[in-house]
Structure formats: C-alpha cells, structure tokens
A and B are shown apart, each in its own frame.
Chain A
Amino acid sequence: MTTAPINKVMPLSLVDGPGNRSTIFFQGCNLACAYCHNPETQNQCHHCGICVSGCPSGALTKADGRVNWDPEVCVQCDQCIHVCSSNASPKVRHLTPEEIFEEIQKNLPFIRGITVSGGESTLYPHFIKELFTIARAHGLTCLIDSNGTTDLTSYPALLALCEGVMLDVKAWDQQTYQKITGGLTNAVVKKNLHHLACCNKLEEIRIVCLPGEVDAEAVISGIAETIGENVTDVKLKLITFRSNGVNGRLQNTPSPDDTYMQQLLQQAYELGFEKAVIVS
C-alpha cells in the first residue's frame, strides 16, 4: 500500500487557494530555502532522539532506535521542533491516500476542495494522483502548491486531475536561486511555468520578496516574458518576507518596507499583471 509522510492535515485554510480548503502538508522538501517559514517540514526524522527527553507530555518515546509520537497525548507545544537540529519533526504520520481522505471527509460540507502543500508535495506525484482521484469523486477541487522542481510535463494525468498549481518562483538568476534555495537549478521551474501557463493550469504565482536575497524585479519580468498573454489572468502574489518561523541566517532579518513592495506592484501592473497583489 502506498503511503507518504504527512506533517499535518489542516481542516481549514483561508490562504491556500480559492474558497475554503483542507490542506495536506507533506513532509520533506528538496530545497532548503533560507526564508522557509516552516523549516520543520524539510527533512525526515532520523530518530536521533534529541527531542524525547524534553517532551512535557510524554508524547514522544524512543524504542528500538525509533522515535515514536502519540498524537493523543501530544499538547502541540512544538518543543520537539524547536530542539531539532535537522529541520525535521517527530510528529509525522505515514498515511495512505484513503487514510488522508478519511480525515478530509470530516470537513464536508464546509470545504470546496483540497490543496497539497509541504514540504514539497510533488515529490510524491503518484500518491497525490491517487488522493486527487478520491477527492474528485467526492466533488472536491484539487490544487497543488509547489516549488516547481518536479518536471510536471511528465505527469499529464496528475495535471488533468487538478484545477491548477500554485507555483513559487523563488529567484530568476541561477546563482541567486542557488543561494536562497540551496537547489542546483531553476531551469525546471521555468519549464513548468511555461507549461502550466500553456495548459491553463497556472492557478497562482508567488514570489517571496526580500531585496538583496531575491531578485524579485527580474522574477516579475522573467515571468511576464515566459507566460506571454497569460499575465492578465494569472494571480501574482508578492509576498512580503516575514521572519516568523524562519530558522538560520535570515531569522532576524527585517521585512522589506512598503515603498519597495509598492514599487514591485507597480512594475507588475506595468507588465500587465492585472491580478497582482501584495501579501503583507
């Protein structure tokens, strides 16, 4: 039976796509963005056990070289996440698509769809395809929130099952991309950008804006060039960097000011992004 590591299933999300949706956060990411605001979803737990002794409720135990987590006992204080030195979490469950859907079904009739996020959900393309098949059979719409590093042109059946992809374009220049994400190349991201625009599956584009770290100006013009006339229809979210939840070298970095964000918005408007917004 196929399972995937799941960090969390959130019953309610006002921010992950149109309408009210349940969001499934996968554990594990192939990038390590310096501004990641949920870095505990990046890696798999390697059972070092450093988190066990500090657990105030006794939800964590170690046996046979493995850290076990009891969700019934857990008080969600996140102490384990704070002490983890490898950007992982012991609170991960390995679930089948059916098991995930059992949880999602409890949220009907309050949601119109589901969104897979992470971590990086497209590291499990066959799994999300199975999940989407079940969700659609129950009348739910499906969205993918992705960093764009999986070549989605190889998964036409998956794309056919989803309404669209919310794509993070983290940097345009290759070196800037490598520095902010730890990834090797953004060539696949650009390829996906083009492909999704062509097949009308580009639900939303997101740029986290932080001058000096992210070449947001180049990203905006690069996207405009890549997707052509789709600029007028696509939602572009210019996300103001916030240090909340950030670990590492940017954890004390201040947010860009309003003037800068407004300049980016202006640039986007000039390039034809009618649906560009600033997310503060």
Chain B
Amino acid sequence: MSQVLDMVTSQKLTYEQKVMSLAHAAEDTLSVLNIPEKTRYYFEINAIDDLYEGSAPYRPRYIMPDYEHLLTNGSEFLRIEPPEDIDELLNSLMIFYKHVPSITGFPVYLGNIDKLIEPFLDGVSDKKAKKKLRLFLNYLDRTITDSFCHANIGPEATRAGKLILELEKELQNAVPNFTLKYDPAITPDDYAELAVHASLYCANPAFCNHHIHQKTYPTDYGISSCYNILPIGGGAHTLSRITLPGLANVATSTEQFLYELLPDCLEALGGYMNERIRFLVEQSGFFESSFLVKEGFIDANNFIGMLGITGLAECTNILMGENEKRYGHDSEADDLAEQIMKVISNFAAQFPAKYSNISGGQLMLHAQVGMDYDIGITSGVRIPVSDELENIYDHLRHSARFHREITTGCGDIFPIETTGRNNPSAILDIVKGAFSLGSKYMSFYEENSDLVRITGYLVKRSEMEKYRDEQVVLQNTTQLGTSNYDHNHLKDRKVRGV
C-alpha cells in the first residue's frame, strides 16, 4: 500500500490528480479479466500494453456523444432544456461535458464545436460573441485538466470557427486540442490559411484529411483525444497496443517474426481486447445505466475496439540487424516495414471483434503515439526524432505510404521556423500535397512556441519547467508530457522551413 500512501502524501499532485490516481489504484486491486498465460507473457516482454486502461473497465475508453442531440432534445437526466440562445448553449455544454466519462476522467471529445455554436451567433456582434467564447474556452482549459481532449472545426468555414481561431491565438490554452477537418474541395483557402496562421502561434488547430476520413464509418466521424478517428454517437470501447520493438527483441529471425511471432502476439492481443470489451459490455453495467445511452447521446452499436501499433521504426531497425539499413532511409527497411503492416492489417480484417457492429465486427488500426514511460520507442509509424528525412517532401511521401493501413488515427508533427508565419499559404500548399498523396493528419507549431505538441496532445514548455522544478501543475498531461519530452528528445525535432 506504500504506493497509495505516496499518492495521498504527494506534494506534486493536485487534489483532483490524487483522487484520480486513487480511483485507478482501487480499480487495479480487481482481477476480473481472464488473461491467458501466453498473453501475460507478451505483457511481460513489453510486446502488449493496455495503456493504463485499468484492470476492470467500467466505461468505454473514448466516448463521442452526439451533441447535436443535446441541441434538439436537451437532457432529462441533467434537467437541461434545448438551448435557445448562445448563453444557454454554452452553459448547457459546460454542464454536459462534466458528465461525459472516458479513460482520462474527462471528456475526450467536445463536438464539432463550430457547428454547435454557429446557429446561435445570429444577431450577436463579434465583440460580444468573443467575450462569451473567451469565458467558455477558459472554463474548458481550467476545468478539463487533461489535454487528451479534442474539439473539431470545419470543413466548412464558419464565423464561429473564425472567432475561435482568433481567440485561441490570444489565449494560449493547452485544452482543448482543435482539429480542422480539412478538404481543399470544401474548405476555402483563406479559412485554412487562417488556421495555419493560428497554429504557428498556439499549436492549434491540427489538420485532418477529411476527404479520406469521412468514409471511415457509415455515420459522421469526430477526432478525439490524441487523434482518434471515431464514430459520433459512439466511440472506442478500448485501445490496447502492440509494442512492436518489444516483440522484435525476442524474434529469432525476420521470417519467424513475420510468420509466427507477430500473428501469435496479435491473436493474444485481439483476445485480450475482446475480453476487455466483454467485461465492459456484459458486466460493468455501463451501457445499462448511463443516461448517455438511455437518452440517445450514444449507442452501444457505435463503439469499436482500436488496435494500437507503436514503434514500427525501431522494430524494423531491430529486424534489419547490423546492416545499418533503417526505417525511412532505405527501401529494403521500408519494404520490410510494409510487410509488417500488412500482417497486422490482415489480422485485423479477419479477427472477429466483439460488440463492434459499426466497424463490421473488426478491430480498427490506430497509430498509438506512445506513453510517458516509452524510451527509445517512436510513436506509431513515425520516423524517430533526429532521424527525420532532410527533405520534408520525402518525409511526407513516407508518411503517406505508412498512414495507408491505419484507419483510426495516424499523424505527423512539424515544428516550423518563425518565418512561416509570414506565408501560411506555403504551409497550406504542403498540407494539400501531403493529403493528396494519402497522408491523414498533420500538425504544426512554431519553433519557439510555449505550447508544444508532445505526441498528439499539447503541453506548455513553461508548465513543464515548473513541474521539473517540483511544483504542482494544473494539468496532469504536463506530468506525462515532461517525461515524454525528455525521454524522446522532442526538443530535437527537425524544424522545417526556409
């Protein structure tokens, strides 16, 4: 129990962070999941990871409520009437968000926020709207103290979206992340350029390839947490990952890895995910008791299981052995990486996933971006920091190739020279080029920005300094981000621009 006592007496955690940690510790005293011996072995060698999801799942990992439903029906449970003006809308959302659970204890998805707000702006001046939205955005940043939280804008230009972009530049908030669903055929250039410009001041928004992602589900999709592409009105039961380098370390040959080890480990991971989903759906009581289900904000049929992949780069390099051919730089290494991805996607296509109707009973692939304890394991299918390709176009072509198989979230992060602020259209051209080749998601921050993107979430460098200095910090993602930033040498990310 000394770990629990450490939490209770910590001087680096806020009260809220202690409560969350204690709840987690309590959950982990249970062993309700049936985990076979072989699966335990893969956990031990660090080839499978449950990503701190807890040992007795009592809510889906990510929930994507249909907020439009709140606008038309209000909520009986929360005693909210359908809002009639902007004040009522923002107040209703603030109440509602508080009651959306997730793995983090906070809502990970805040809706297509511009679309929610836009109809309520009629007759409200920019100045008045900005004051209201400023209070709203600051409320979100100060009460959702975990930056695995996402709001979406676009693809159409809206006045609400424009006001939010202007405010974000000014407010320098880490929460929420914003993503622009971007489609050059729908999003006007000047609006997208405004988004690029904002991102070079506040690291928001990121750019999601709308043209590709809109086909992911029969329903509309949203971007949540750390770039998860999920169905609105549902979400993800679970996200567990295969940590490829852990598995490659025990391989006796490339052939043994590809044809024996990897399929065997994936089978174990799939079984483990199904076991989590089984407990959540059949035993936890969540779907029977939550007002979100009863009132139609979510539907059990709209949830999927996300199979995460991480460390493709290091795995490939381990298998390439001593010949120094490496991921991103040599075609032989990249061809091997593609073979690995094919094995994984073939597995996902044939493995029967429980309670995953909306994905046709399949697990869906996700480029998992890493954990604070990962050392020497690069996010998803990215090329390692400091080993990036010199030419950004080559880098993006490589990304497009390896984003292909991944359907529920995969992206790249680029720090940009300050001069980029003078010409957002240049960066937009690069986004257009990358998206036309199949790249799925891109984000930028200015090289000296206080706000930096860690793996997919934002943290302030100034807050990381405080945390390193043993001070209490408001957002728990500062704690995660600091280790990640240091372990993975994120300050050395290649800065792009000329």
Find chain B residues with CB under 8 A from A111 CB. Answer: 429, 433
Interface residues on chain A, size class:
10 to 19
B345 interfacial by beta-carbon distance below 8 Å: no
With contact pairs A14-B417, A14-B498, A106-B393 given, residues A21 and B426 touching in the complex (Cβ less than 8 Å): yes
> C-beta contact mask, B201-236 vs A, less than 8 Å → 1, else 0?
000000000000000000000000000000000000
User: From residue A15, how far is it (CB to closest CB) to chain B in Å?
Assistant: 6
User: Which of B420, B425, B433, B497 is the one whose CB lies under 8 Å from A110?
Assistant: B433
B434 interfacial by beta-carbon distance below 8 Å: yes
B437/A109 in contact, CB under 8 A: yes
How far does the alpha carbon of A109 sit from the alpha carbon of B419 in the complex, in Å?
Answer: 22
A243 interfacial by beta-carbon distance below 8 Å: no
A183 interfacial by beta-carbon distance below 8 Å: no
Of chain B, the residue at the smallest CB distance from A13 is B498
Number of CB contacts from chain A to chain B under 8 A: 58
User: From residue A10, how far is it (CB to closest CB) to chain B in Å?
Assistant: 6
A11/B393 in contact, CB under 8 A: yes
Find chain B residues with CB under 8 A from A21 CB. Answer: 426
> C-beta contact mask, A101-133 vs B, less than 8 Å → 1, else 0?
000001111111000000000000000000000
How far does the alpha carbon of A112 sit from the alpha carbon of B426 in the complex, in Å?
Answer: 9
Report whether over half of chain B's contact residues are helix, strand or loop; otherwise say mixed: helix
> C-beta contact mask, A243-280 vs B, less than 8 Å → 1, else 0?
00000000000000000000000000000000001010
B436 interfacial by beta-carbon distance below 8 Å: yes
How far does the alpha carbon of A20 sit from the alpha carbon of B496 in the complex, in Å?
Answer: 13
Find chain B residues with CB under 8 A from A10 CB. Answer: 498
A279/B422 in contact, CB under 8 A: yes
> C-beta contact mask, B127-163 vs A, less than 8 Å → 1, else 0?
0000000000000000000000000000000000000
B429/A15 in contact, CB under 8 A: no
Find chain B residues with CB under 8 A from A18 CB. Answer: 423, 425
Find chain B residues with CB under 8 A from A106 CB. Answer: 393
How far does the alpha carbon of A10 sit from the alpha carbon of B498 in the complex, in Å?
Answer: 9
Find chain A residues with CB under 8 A from B496 CB. Answer: 12
Of chain A, the residue at the smallest CB distance from B417 is A14
A19 interfacial by beta-carbon distance below 8 Å: yes
User: From residue B134, how far is it (CB to closest CB) to chain A in Å?
Assistant: 28
Find chain B residues with CB under 8 A from A279 CB. Answer: 422
A14/B436 in contact, CB under 8 A: no
User: Which of B392, B425, B428, B432 is the one whose CB lies under 8 Å from A12?
Assistant: B392
How far does the alpha carbon of A210 sit from the alpha carbon of B428 in the complex, in Å?
Answer: 33
Find chain A residues with CB under 8 A from B391 CB. Answer: 11-12
Find chain A residues with CB under 8 A from B425 CB. Answer: 18-20
B396 interfacial by beta-carbon distance below 8 Å: yes
User: From residue A270, how far is it (CB to closest CB) to chain B in Å?
Assistant: 23
User: Which of A14, A110, A277 is the one whose CB lies under 8 Å from B393?
Assistant: A110
B433/A13 in contact, CB under 8 A: no
How far does the alpha carbon of A107 sit from the alpha carbon of B397 in the complex, in Å?
Answer: 10
User: Which of A15, A20, A277 is the one whose CB lies under 8 Å from B430?
Assistant: A20
User: From residue A37, how far is it (CB to closest CB) to chain B in Å?
Assistant: 14
User: From residue A76, how far is it (CB to closest CB) to chain B in Å?
Assistant: 10
> C-beta contact mask, B460-498 vs A, less than 8 Å → 1, else 0?
000000000000000000000000000000000000111
- Name B residues whose Cβ lies closer than 8 Å to a Cβ of A: 391-393, 396, 417, 419-420, 422-423, 425-430, 432-434, 436-437, 496-498
The 7 closest A-B pairs by CB, nearest first: A110-B433, A20-B429, A20-B426, A109-B433, A14-B426, A19-B425, A14-B423
- Interface CB pairs A-B, < 8 A, 22: A10-B498, A11-B391, A11-B393, A12-B391, A12-B393, A12-B430, A14-B417, A14-B419, A14-B422, A14-B497, A14-B498, A15-B423, A18-B423, A18-B425, A109-B432, A109-B433, A109-B436, A109-B437, A110-B393, A110-B429, A112-B429, A279-B422
Known pairs A12-B391, A277-B422; list 5 more (Cβ under 8 Å): A14-B498, A15-B419, A19-B428, A20-B429, A21-B426
- Name A residues whose Cβ lies closer than 8 Å to a Cβ of B: 10-15, 18-21, 106-112, 277, 279
